[in-house]
Amino acid sequence: MTMPTYLDYNATAPLKPAVVEAMSAALAETGNASSVHRFGRLARRAIETARGQVAALVGASQHQVVFTAGGTEANNLALAQHRSMRVLASAIEHESVLGAAGDAVVIPVDRDGRVDLNALERLLGREGGPALVAVMLANNETGVIQPVADVARIAHGHGAFVHCDAVQAAGKIAIDFAALGVDTLALSAHKLGGPQGVGALVVADRVELQPMLRGGGQERGRRAGTENTAGIIGFGIAAELAARDIETISRLAGLRDEMEARLRRAAPESIVFGAAAPRLPNTSCIAMPGVAAETQVMALDLAGIAVSAGSACSSGKVKPSHVLAAMGAGDLAGNAIRVSGGWRSAPEDFDRLVEGWTTLWARLGANRAGSAAPAA
């Protein structure tokens, strides 16, 4: 029996064996990290070790890491600091940022999916007063990497704060928190082989973080609630492994590029979004003209291949991508799927995707795409 092929790492990565082992051991122990007896002290020591491991992944200091229940909470915690400020958010931000930002001023992106720095400069200069700029490090749908250090330079020149959602980028490209120059940065464990339900907000020393959850002194008073000790331990191990294996992940770019070339040869009408921009090495967003993304996802699933259409955070629904719409994709936004590999991906996984995709194209797409414009 052929094993299913998993190419949806941007939704969630499989747990790494060392993470499972560490979490299993932690779950067998007893102790609340806020307790002063031996059991509590051991739990606290394990959490602080994990805090150091997560900090090291992004070049931050241990005391700058605040553990949360995931990337969504980390994004919400960051934006909650600036409720009274004008918020500017890129058009391609994750829903957890856009939803928390309220009526944010939208920073446009170009056709390659990169934030328009000139537009950012104009928007910041249009009105006075304090502001928050939210720009992600790498897009979850296209993999396009954003010029965050330039964003921070421009924003700080106008006295604005900067939040960066680095959930998709962590473990796939090197991150230096200080070099980025942002005020806060969000992370999530399950995107890099750790458990779901654990994340972190990295906070610059110049930011006085106010808690969104109150009622306890955990996380140095910055996030109340008993810590998820086993999950945090798993996050720490996953972060340490991700930092060690980042060169291995970078080699996925070759497999990704070869896959895209093969798909383009089979279907010249197909379009790879963001291909002209710097991208995460594991991510491809490709449109099959004439065939709905939902149809592609279901057909590939029946063939034993797991991919997605857009973000995986929409309660299982496939809906038009606001990211691709912002890039000017038009109707093709409804024809795009995301292929994303990871630490367990092998060349044969991409071979199988090419086989399944080209078979579907021959059956459904080739006769429907006559009016589709070829990719540039």
Per domain, the residue ranges of the chain are 5-13+247-365, 17-244
| Mean pLDDT, residues 135-157 taken together | 98
DSSP string, 51-69: HHHHHHHTT--GGGEEEES
pLDDT digits (tens, 9 = 90+) for 61-75: 999 999 999 999 999
Between 128 and 38, the higher pLDDT residue:
38
Domain 5-13+247-365, what architecture?
Alpha-Beta Complex (3.90)
DSSP state of 365: I
Strand partners for 162: 133
Percent of the chain topping pLDDT 70: 94
Please check the confidence at residue 211 and state whether its pLDDT lies above 70: yes
313 is catalytic: yes
How far is 362 from 357, CA to CA, in rounded Å?
9
> Measuring CA to CA, which residue among 267, 284, 262, 271 is closest to residue 332?
271
- Long-range contacts (CB closer than 8 Å, 24 or more residues apart) made by 312-316: 312/8, 312/10, 312/11, 312/12, 313/72, 313/94, 313/95, 313/96, 314/95
Q: Which of 25, 27, 178, 313 is catalytic?
A: 313
Please check the confidence at residue 2 and state whether its pLDDT lies above 80: no
Mean pLDDT of the chain: 93
Between 315 and 11, the higher pLDDT residue:
11
Per-residue model confidence (pLDDT) at position 101: 86
Residue 247's CB is within 10 A of a number of other CB atoms, namely 8
Strand partners for 87: 132
Query: Max CA-CA distance within the chain?
Result: 72
Equal CATH topology for 5-13+247-365 and 17-244: no
Per-residue model confidence (pLDDT) at position 238: 98
DSSP state of 362: I
Per-residue model confidence (pLDDT) at position 368: 60
Please check the confidence at residue 316 and state whether its pLDDT lies above 60: no
Q: Which fold has domain 17-244?
A: Aspartate Aminotransferase; domain 2 (3.40.640)
User: 105 and 189 in contact (C-beta within 8 Å)?
Assistant: no
Task: Tell me the pairing of strands 131-134 and 336-340.
Answer: unpaired
Kindly give, in sequence order, each residue whose CB lies less than 8 Å from that of residue 281, ignoring residues fewer than 6 positions away: 172, 173, 249, 250, 251, 252, 253, 256
What six digits make up the tokens of 315? Answer: 């309660």
Per-residue confidence band for 83, with pLDDT thresholds at 50, 70 and 90: confident
